[in-house]
């Protein structure tokens, strides 16, 4: 019995690990962020730029100059909007400041903010298809 247990333990452990949620983490922030960015932002911010307001790009220098260089600040502007940029949050108000298109959930905007910050840190490399 001990010999059989010793023989079966490694394959059983391998199966448990393979089926564990830890072995299959959620989609990477970069992939989900890229998907969300393409869905909600790329129309105005293609390549990290800004087709409506050239001084409000998503490059580090403009984010810093405009006081929107932390993930939390990027989250806030994305959720509630600022200036000509509409808010995309589910509970964004006043209504005139918010997008007329589909709204994003809080966790989606957090992932998007992390993605924008990471892209800005890398100089906005070309988005990969996920």
Where in the chain are the domains? Answer: 26-121
Q: Which helix (H) or strand (E) holds 45?
A: helix 42-45
Average pLDDT over every residue of 105-112: 96
Would you identify the CATH topology of the domain 26-121? Answer: Cytochrome Bc1 Complex; Chain D, domain 2 (1.10.760)
- What's the pLDDT at 8? 54
Q: What 3-state class would DSSP assign to 109? A: helix
Encoding tokens for residue 38? 């393409």
- What's the pLDDT at 25? 40
| pLDDT confidence band for 87 (50 / 70 / 90) | very high
Higher-scoring residue by pLDDT: 20, 78? 78
Per-residue pLDDT tens for 88-102? 999 999 989 999 988
The predicted model scores a pTM of 0.74
Closest to 99 (Cα-Cα) out of 56, 39, 57: 39
Encoding tokens for residue 128? 């990969």
């Amino acid at each position: 019995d001990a010999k059989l247990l010793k023989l079966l333990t490694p394959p059983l452990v391998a199966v448990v690990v393979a089926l564990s949620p830890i072995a299959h983490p959620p989609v990477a922030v970069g992939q989900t962020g890229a998907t969300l960015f393409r869905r909600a932002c790329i129309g105005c911010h293609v390549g990290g730029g800004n087709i409506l307001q050239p001084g409000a790009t998503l490059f580090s220098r403009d984010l810093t100059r405009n006081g929107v260089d932390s993930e939390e600040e990027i989250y806030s502007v994305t959720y509630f909007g600022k200036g000509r940029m509409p808010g995309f949050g589910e509970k964004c108000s006043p209504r005139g400041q918010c997008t007329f298109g589909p709204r994003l959930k809080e966790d989606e905007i957090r992932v998007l903010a992390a993605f924008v910050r990471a892209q800005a840190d890398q100089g906005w490399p070309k988005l990969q298809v996920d």
